[in-house]
Amino acid sequence: MLLRQLFDHETHTYTYLVADPDTKQALLIDPVREQVDRDLKLLEELGLTLVYALDTHVHADHVTGCGLLRERVGAKTVASSDGAECVDRKVSHGDKLELGALTVEVLETPGHTDDSVSYRIGDNVFTGDALLIRGTGRTDFQNGNAEELYRSLTEVLFALPDDTRVWPGHDYRGHTMSTIGEEKRHNPRVAGKSREEFVHILDNLNLPRPSRIDEAVPANRMCGQSPLVQGAQG
């Protein structure tokens, strides 16, 4: 399988391109609207056809590129059944998408937001903001819930084999990937922590409100195609 990790410097967001090299079918996970031209150019250069554009959740820090990718190249948009109404395919825990020889398995991993899902493809898991490298998403907006996140981490993601490769939705310290075993041992928020300790940590992060939340969340409920987004009609 072909896998490329792409980065948006403005929002520290990772976008992932995954493709089946035989059929040339591709998908993008968590595309950023401002990076759609970059992503389409790469797809074209690699001779790939974009079949799916997936979001791991309704993002608060950037506007999704999914709606624009649907408009430009006819990709089917995919997200949780608890998320944006605009998507073509609403998925739930255990659902599977076929991409050539590859299978994408949906894992519901709520807690950062109530609509957060992870996508497992072979021995790779794309965790959005549920599990970050040596960190986790925050749980203080968009129906976030620290207890739910603890359950998603310990009972869903940490149930995967230890050598499963972890590809997060963001990184702020320069990490690119990890493994489930590594995060089980070294993630300071959850490794060796009880549920109560985890909740206490998450409830006391005192993070600033995301600067683009008022623009991004309503726009992302419309797959990034809100008229309020600059250039959304283009």
Single-letter amino acid code for the residue at 87: V
**Would you say 70 or 112 has its CB closer to Fe ion?**
112
Tokens matching residue 132: 């970050």
Contact (CB, 8 A) for 129 and 57: yes
Show the binding pattern over residues 73-112: x = contacts Fe ion (CB under 5 A), - = does not. ----------------------------------------
Residue among 114 and 147 whose Cβ is closer to Fe ion = 114
**Between 66-73 and 36-45, two packed helices, what is the crossing angle to 10 degrees?**
50
Q: How far is the CB of 197 from Fe ion (least distance, A)?
A: 23
Alpha-carbon distances of 118 from 8, 13, 73, 206, rounded to whole Å: 20, 15, 24, 26
181: which 2 tokens?
């075993």
**Catalytic site residue 129?**
yes
- Examine the residue annotation and report whether 57 is marked as an active-site residue of this protein: yes
CB of 13 to Fe ion, least distance (A): 9
Task: Find the catalytic residue in 39, 55, 57, 115.
Answer: 57
The nearer residue to Fe ion, 20 or 129, going by C-beta atoms, is 129
* Residues between 111 and 150 with contacts to Fe ion, criterion CB under 5 A: 129
Residue owning tokens 């940590």: 201
User: Is residue 112 among the annotated active site residues?
Assistant: yes
Nearer to Fe ion, 27 or 149 (CB): 149
Which of 129/148 has CB closer to Fe ion? Answer: 129
Q: Has 62 been annotated as catalytic?
A: yes
Task: Point out the residue whose Cβ comes nearest to Fe ion.
Answer: 129
- Is 22 annotated as catalytic? no
Tokens read off for 97: 């998408």
Supply the minimum distance, in Å, between the C-beta of residue 10 and Fe ion.
15
Binding-site size, Fe ion (CB under 5 A):
1
**Sequence-ordered strand ranges (E) for the chain:** 2-8, 13-20, 25-29, 49-54, 76-80, 89-91, 96-99, 102-108, 117-121, 124-128, 131-132, 135-136, 165-168, 178-179
- Pairing assessment for the beta strands 135-136 and 131-132 based on DSSP bridges: antiparallel
Interface residues with Fe ion (CB under 5 A)? 129
Looking at the annotation, which residues are catalytic? 57, 59, 61-62, 112, 129, 170
